[in-house]
């Protein structure tokens, strides 16, 4: 399962699309996909709940023909999700009848990969959202789609697979209501990643906190050298959000009062925020990957990595930051005091730790060409998402949100 944010015209995240695949190389709507979709739907609703999964925002669910026609039941209420009609189902009487029943029951329906002058136009009276693919699309074709959809006043247009500023500008010009794509979900940069002394110091603190046997004296020394971190740490020990009400007189006392695990969370948040200037959704994506790696390393699926859970967390964090910048891992880890096993795993050796990093990366990337088989990873992903939402909920006031600024900057670039 993957989550991809959906933005409105002001740059706010208003919903998420949940994406499902059956297994390695799955690309068509087979019975296996039905089974996998059903299993992950049940897991999502029972393990964590949609409110926590989406933060109370609109949830778009990619479902197969069997769910749309009533052959398989939908295990949730109509108010909880938008059902997406994927591009594969053939439009016939059975599909029309199934969508009509769902609409009468109150379900909201979205039509994915709509094209002008195709057989799917007959579905427009039944849907509330229409998704138009903007990747490598001819402007004339996009305009034709918009013209047809605008005849239905109840339909909201969603521009999907936005990969370039040009496509985003066209979508804004044509009056699209919602926006989805990598250009909004991650920054596209050509410059190198600069590690300032302050950022490098925080990476070293995190490396020290992620050691198998944490040396408190080393952590205190590292934190004491970072004035900004020391100040926030001292303030945090008296913050109500941490449940602490004692005063401290030194960095060591503050670390002891907060605890190493909480300090690791705090340093991680500061580091990722400073390093990436990420918005909330990007921070979620990075921290979920790190936590997922840590949980997988301690699971029955990867018993040989059980003693490397802290290293797995740091490895997941660094690999996610590298993907965030689309930068080589060598550029991210240059100058960091990382152990040889972790460095080797980050470069893709055949170790258990490398297998954990690869599985987490594939599972959290909805466009990955391969996909991990089911196992502990489903529950671990949901647990990682719950943990991340909890961390960001506690430390939220410190998290910058650049989504609106980013969207407006891209939309007006060159104008």
Question: What number is the average pLDDT over the span 339-358?
Answer: 88
Q: What is the DSSP letter of 64?
A: -
Strand, coil or helix: what is 127? coil
Question: What number is the average pLDDT over the span 183-210?
Answer: 58
> Which residue range(s) make up the domain with 281?
197-403
Whether 409 is covered by a domain: the verdict is: no
Question: What number is the average pLDDT over the span 73-97?
Answer: 82
Confidence band (pLDDT; 50, 70, 90) for 189?
very low
Whether 348 is covered by a domain: the verdict is: yes
Whether 214 is covered by a domain: the verdict is: yes
Provide the phi-psi class of 385: left if phi over 0, else alpha when psi is between -120 and 50, else beta: alpha
Of the candidates 91, 45, 87, the one whose C-alpha atom is nearest the C-alpha of residue 63 is: 87
Q: Do 351 and 236 fall within a single domain?
A: yes
C-alpha–C-alpha distance, residues 38 and 61, integer Å? 11
- Residue 363, pLDDT above cutoff 60: yes
Q: Do 50 and 128 fall within a single domain?
A: yes
We report the CATH number of the domain holding residue 16 as 3.20.20.450
Q: What is the DSSP letter of 18?
A: E
Strand, coil or helix: what is 35? helix
Angle at 391 between CA 357 and CA 318, to 5 degrees: 30
Question: What number is the average pLDDT over the span 51-63?
Answer: 79
Q: Do 158 and 225 fall within a single domain?
A: no
Whether 413 is covered by a domain: the verdict is: no
Question: What number is the average pLDDT over the span 273-286?
Answer: 67
pLDDT the model gives residue 158: 96
Q: Do 395 and 295 fall within a single domain?
A: yes
Question: What number is the average pLDDT over the span 107-119?
Answer: 89
Question: What number is the average pLDDT over the span 199-204?
Answer: 68
CB-count exposure of residue 337 (10 Å: 0-12, 13-18, 19+): exposed
- Residue 193, pLDDT above cutoff 50: no
Confidence band (pLDDT; 50, 70, 90) for 30?
very low
**What are the distances in angstroms from CA 415 to CA 168, 189, 405, 411?**
13, 20, 16, 9
pLDDT the model gives residue 413: 54
Which residues, 6 or more positions from 102, have their beta carbon under 8 angstroms from its beta carbon? 68, 78, 83, 109
Of the candidates 297, 299, 365, the one whose C-alpha atom is nearest the C-alpha of residue 1 is: 365
pLDDT the model gives residue 172: 93
pLDDT the model gives residue 103: 92
Question: What number is the average pLDDT over the span 87-104?
Answer: 87
pLDDT the model gives residue 183: 80
Of the candidates 157, 193, 197, the one whose C-alpha atom is nearest the C-alpha of residue 173 is: 157
Whether 313 is covered by a domain: the verdict is: yes
- Identify which has the larger pLDDT, 314 or 406: 314
Domain count, the chain: 2
Confidence band (pLDDT; 50, 70, 90) for 366?
low
The crossing angle, in degrees rounded to 10, of helices 376-395 and 352-364 is: 70
Whether 17 is covered by a domain: the verdict is: yes
Lowest mean pLDDT among 5-14, 46-55, 157-166: 46-55
- Residue 291, pLDDT above cutoff 60: yes
- Residue 76, pLDDT above cutoff 90: no
Question: What number is the average pLDDT over the span 185-200?
Answer: 47
Q: Do 289 and 216 fall within a single domain?
A: yes
pLDDT digits (tens, 9 = 90+) for 144-170: 999 999 999 999 999 999 988 899 999
Confidence band (pLDDT; 50, 70, 90) for 190?
very low
Question: What number is the average pLDDT over the span 28-57?
Answer: 61
Asked if residue 361 lies in contact with residue 370, where contact means CB atoms within 8 angstroms, the answer is no
We report the CATH number of the domain holding residue 224 as 1.10.3210
pLDDT the model gives residue 31: 45
Confidence band (pLDDT; 50, 70, 90) for 22?
very low
Strand, coil or helix: what is 7? strand
Mean pLDDT of the chain: 75
Q: Do 156 and 276 fall within a single domain?
A: no
Q: Do 15 and 134 fall within a single domain?
A: yes
C-alpha–C-alpha distance, residues 178 and 156, integer Å? 8
CA dihedral 298, 4, 84, 385 (to 10 degrees): 30
C-alpha–C-alpha distance, residues 49 and 52, integer Å? 6
Asked if residue 290 lies in contact with residue 392, where contact means CB atoms within 8 angstroms, the answer is no
Of the candidates 137, 135, 133, 113, the one whose C-alpha atom is nearest the C-alpha of residue 123 is: 113
Q: Which of 210-214, 245-249, 355-359 has the highest mean pLDDT?
A: 355-359
Q: Do 223 and 372 fall within a single domain?
A: yes
The crossing angle, in degrees rounded to 10, of helices 280-297 and 309-325 is: 150
For residue 91, the surrounding DSSP H or E stretch is: none
Among 150, 185, 220, the domain-final residue is 185
**Adjacent-strand bridge partners of 19:** 2
Strands 13-19 and 58-62: parallel
- Residue 102, pLDDT above cutoff 90: yes
Lowest mean pLDDT among 14-18, 43-47, 297-301, 374-378: 43-47
Q: Do 86 and 224 fall within a single domain?
A: no
Confidence band (pLDDT; 50, 70, 90) for 24?
very low
Q: Do 14 and 66 fall within a single domain?
A: yes
- Residue 71, pLDDT above cutoff 90: no
Of the candidates 350, 306, 346, 301, the one whose C-alpha atom is nearest the C-alpha of residue 328 is: 346
Whether 408 is covered by a domain: the verdict is: no
For residue 80, the surrounding DSSP H or E stretch is: none
Q: Do 298 and 353 fall within a single domain?
A: yes
Which residues, 6 or more positions from 359, have their beta carbon under 8 angstroms from its beta carbon? 296, 302, 372, 377
Provide the H-helix boundaries in 124-259: 139-149, 165-173, 182-185, 197-209, 216-224, 227-236, 251-258
Whether 411 is covered by a domain: the verdict is: no
Among 149, 165, 185, the domain-final residue is 185
Confidence band (pLDDT; 50, 70, 90) for 32?
very low
Q: Do 256 and 350 fall within a single domain?
A: yes
């Amino acid at each position: 399962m993957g989550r991809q944010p959906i933005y409105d015209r002001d740059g706010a995240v208003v919903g998420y699309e949940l994406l499902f695949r059956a297994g390695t190389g799955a690309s068509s709507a087979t019975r296996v996909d039905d089974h996998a979709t059903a299993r992950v739907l049940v897991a999502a609703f029972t393990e964590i709940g949609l409110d926590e999964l989406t933060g109370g925002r609109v949830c778009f669910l990619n479902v197969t023909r069997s769910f749309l026609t009533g052959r398989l039941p939908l295990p949730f209420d109509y108010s909880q999700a938008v059902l997406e009609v994927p591009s594969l189902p053939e439009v016939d009487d059975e599909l029309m009848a199934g969508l009509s029943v769902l609409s009468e029951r109150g379900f909201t329906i979205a039509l994915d990969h709509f094209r002008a002058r195709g057989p799917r136009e007959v579905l427009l009276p039944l849907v509330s959202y229409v998704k138009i693919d903007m990747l490598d699309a001819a402007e004339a074709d996009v305009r034709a789609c918009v013209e047809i959809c605008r005849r239905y006043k109840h339909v909201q247009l969603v521009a999907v697979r936005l990969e370039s500023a040009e496509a985003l500008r066209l979508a804004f010009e044509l009056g699209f209501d919602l926006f989805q794509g990598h250009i909004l979900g991650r920054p596209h940069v050509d410059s190198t990643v600069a590690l300032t002394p302050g950022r490098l110091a925080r990476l070293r603190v995190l490396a020290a906190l992620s050691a198998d046997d944490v040396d408190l004296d080393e952590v205190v020394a590292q934190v004491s050298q970072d004035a900004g971190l020391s100040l926030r740490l001292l303030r945090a020990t008296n913050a109500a959000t941490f449940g602490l009400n004692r005063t401290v007189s030194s960095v060591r006392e503050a670390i002891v009062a907060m605890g190493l695990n909480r300090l690791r969370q705090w340093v991680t948040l500061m580091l990722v925020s400073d390093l990436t200037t990420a918005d909330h959704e990007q921070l979620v994506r990075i921290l979920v990957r790190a936590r997922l790696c840590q949980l997988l390393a301690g699971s029955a699926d990867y018993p040989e990595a059980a003693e490397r859970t802290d290293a797995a967390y740091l490895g997941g964090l660094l690999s996610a930051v590298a993907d965030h910048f689309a930068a080589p891992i060598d550029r991210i880890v240059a100058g960091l005091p990382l152990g040889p096993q972790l460095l080797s795993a980050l470069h893709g050796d055949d170790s258990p730790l490398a297998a954990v990093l690869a599985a987490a990366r594939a599972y959290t990337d909805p466009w990955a060409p391969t996909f991990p088989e089911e196992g502990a990873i489903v529950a671990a992903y949901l647990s990682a998402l719950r943990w991340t939402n909890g961390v960001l909920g506690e430390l939220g006031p410190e998290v910058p949100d650049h989504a609106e600024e980013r969207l407006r900057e891209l939309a007006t670039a060159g104008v």
